[in-house]
Structure 1
Amino acid sequence: MKLGNDVESRPENDDRSWRQQVYEIVFEADTPAGVLFDVLLLVAIFLSVMVVMLESVESIRVQYGPLLVGAEWFFTLLFTVEYVVRIICARRPLRYIFSFYGIVDLLAILPTYLIALPITSDAETQRLTTIRALRLLRAFRIFKLAHMLSEADALRNAIWAARAKVAVFLSFVVISVVIVGSAMHLIEGGRLDENGQTMSNGFDSIPESMYWAVVTMTTVGYGDVSPTTALGKALAACMMLLGYCMIIVPTSIVSAEFAQAARKNLTTRVCENCMAEGHEADARYCKYCGTML
């Protein structure tokens, strides 16, 4: 009787073991199989995006159209199988479907099926073809690789810790742009030519002068708007020097916070209950929902 019970319960245990093994390969990268799966997935993502880009070149599309269509359907079916497998293996499929990666995975395959519908017009087909390039967002899965996860987490923490300083810096930039833009409008705007007509040199209003100030401070220098008076050129020179000095400010702020960020030994384990990532190596329970890992 006991043997019969063991035999009867074995298929269920085997099913759970199969699901768990596939879950660890598909959702995690702590094992050689998981790392290999993520690397192969990343290669497939970049190859599929290359197909989309080549398809946008008219000469290549005319010459290799059927080949590109076949490659696109191959990658779409491959990503569809992967998407279905993730849903089957997830303990809570709806939580995965409506997660960030779940939505990106769906967007990676949906446009190709929509293009195949006969009700899709040529203009809509062209737009959907562009949307397929969004599957490059799936490359963010590379951060699940163990040797990159801790660095990505430290960078995220550094940016969040420096948010107050960055906000103060941006406020100073906005104030400088408003002041310099107003001054340039006063100096350069409303000037008259030899015939007494108002000259239009790009500083006709404060918003247009602020646009010049932003372009100058960021050292872009389009050259479409430039001062002509001596005082305006002097103020422009000061703005250029200020821009060079301020370029390093946000970088130094984030770098300082990044150097002080505590680096933890994180793993790529994903909580089966809430689909959260970024758990410590010695963690036994999810730090977000408390479920045993």
Structure 2
Amino acid sequence: MASGWLAARKRVSELLEPQQRNDKLGDLVDFLLVVLIVTNVLAVMASTVNSIDAQYGQWLFAYEVFSVGIFTIEYVLRVWSSVEHENPALPKWKARLSYATSPMAVIDLLAILPFYLSLFFNLDLRFLRIIRLIRVAKLGRYSGAMQLLYDVFRREFKVLTAALLWLVVLMVIASSGIYLIEHQVQPDKFGSIPQAMWWAMATLTTVGYGDVTPITPLGKFFGGTITVISMAMVALPAGILASSFSEQLRKRRDTFSAKVIEAFADGVLSAKELHELEKLRKTLGLERQDAEALFNLIQKERTTKLVKTCPHCGKSVEGHE
């Protein structure tokens, strides 16, 4: 009986975690969940149109109940089967708690929690509709690009935090400076430093709404200086993300290439090895075209090493590694 539960738990983990398997049933589960998430988001958007809500409100609510039921079952199964891919050294309850506090699990919980809260508390329906839109974040689990972007944010969190901290410091300096320069001539717009922060934020982000602008020569000069400085500061996080994104993609390609070389080591590429390579490709979030290009390049390099050309007659001779 215990072995049956273990087998069932392992199979559930394989079906719900895209990186854990490579089979048609798992792909079908992914497709159905993606369709459910997308249609939920569309339903929420449609419910904000008064005419649609008045005519189809009951149907939309029924679909919401159905969706919450499916998402609840999915969440419970994910937490239950998480011991299959969490740290095996942890006790089962700690492994499940570790998964339940992960970013994607928290998003899964937030996707269903508002519905259950509305059963016990009198909450604003507009608030619930907007909160339900968080379900779109669940799509990140099924997108290799989103997973890659998440890894970039996670790895560069400290650097990005430092860059954003400098932007906050610069905003305080800019709002303080413009307050000292402009508060006497424009007390309604720059009457205090907190009030001047709106201008500083719009200027530092290079948005420049134009509703609040300095009018004194010194204020214009100061505003221009802040604008020039902000262009470099705002570009800093973008540069960090772009560099890290490229580096992470290179590392993933190197990992896949190393696995392909390892598979070619015995000279024969078995069906099991092809299955493992496809599974690794999905785990790393590589596009099939990129993986095939790397595969063909490694295969060509290996063929070039094995087939050598005689320097005298120019004919090919078989070499050995």
TM-score by length of 2: 0.62
Q: How many pairs does the alignment contain?
A: 242
State yes or no: 1:185 paired with 2:179.
yes
* CA shift in 2, pair 1:94/1:134, >3 Å: farther
Structure 1's unaligned 5+ residue stretches are 1-10, 192-198, 267-279, 282-293
Task: Work out whether residues 54 and 61 of structure 1, in 8 Å CA contact, stay in contact via their aligned partners in 2.
Answer: yes
2: distance between equivalents of 1:28 and 1:16? 19
State yes or no: 1:235 paired with 2:238.
no
2: distance between equivalents of 1:171 and 1:126? 34
**Pairing 1:128-147 to 2, within 5 Å after superposition:** 128-143=128-143, 145=144
Deviation per CA, 1:233-278: give whole Å up to 9, x if none.
Answer: 2222222233333332222233334444561448xxxxxxxxxxxx
The equivalent residue for 1:45 is 37
Q: Which amino acid aligns with 2:152?
A: L
State yes or no: 1:23 paired with 2:17.
no
Output the aligned Cα RMSD. Answer: 3.4
The equivalent residue for 1:263 is 251
The equivalent residue for 1:71 is 63
Deviation per CA, 1:25-58: give whole Å up to 9, x if none.
Answer: 1234331333332232122112112212222322
Deviation (angstroms), 1:171: 5.1
The equivalent residue for 2:314 is none
The equivalent residue for 1:109 is 112
Q: Secondary structure at the match of 2:112?
A: helix
Deviation per CA, 1:113-135: give whole Å up to 9, x if none.
Answer: 454x4x654x5455444433333
| Partner of residue 200 from structure 1, selected from 166, 187, 200 | 187
Q: Secondary structure at the match of 1:54?
A: helix
Query: In percent, how many aligned pairs have the same letter?
Result: 32
Deviation (angstroms), 1:102: 4.0
* CA shift in 2, pair 1:129/1:260, >3 Å: closer
**Pairing 1:49-64 to 2, within 5 Å after superposition:** 49-64=41-56
Task: Work out whether residues 166 and 250 of structure 1, in 8 Å CA contact, stay in contact via their aligned partners in 2.
Answer: no
Deviation per CA, 1:127-161: give whole Å up to 9, x if none.
Answer: 44443333333223224x5x765x3465246524x
Structure with the bigger RCO (C-alpha within 8 Å, sep 6+) is 1
More helix by share: 2
Q: Which amino acid aligns with 2:216?
A: T
| Partner of residue 77 from structure 2, selected from 59, 77, 85 | 85
Deviation (angstroms), 1:104: 3.5
The equivalent residue for 2:101 is 99
2: distance between equivalents of 1:249 and 1:20? 44
Q: Which amino acid aligns with 1:99?
A: T
Q: Secondary structure at the match of 2:210?
A: coil
Deviation per CA, 1:48-106: give whole Å up to 9, x if none.
Answer: 12212222322211011122122212212222332343355454367436333444334
2: distance between equivalents of 1:170 and 1:87? 34
2: distance between equivalents of 1:260 and 1:234? 40
| Partner of residue 159 from structure 1, selected from 141, 156, 163 | 156
Q: Secondary structure at the match of 1:263?
A: helix
* CA shift in 2, pair 1:173/1:76, >3 Å: closer
Task: Work out whether residues 105 and 135 of structure 1, in 8 Å CA contact, stay in contact via their aligned partners in 2.
Answer: yes
Task: Work out whether residues 87 and 93 of structure 1, in 8 Å CA contact, stay in contact via their aligned partners in 2.
Answer: no
Q: Secondary structure at the match of 2:152?
A: helix
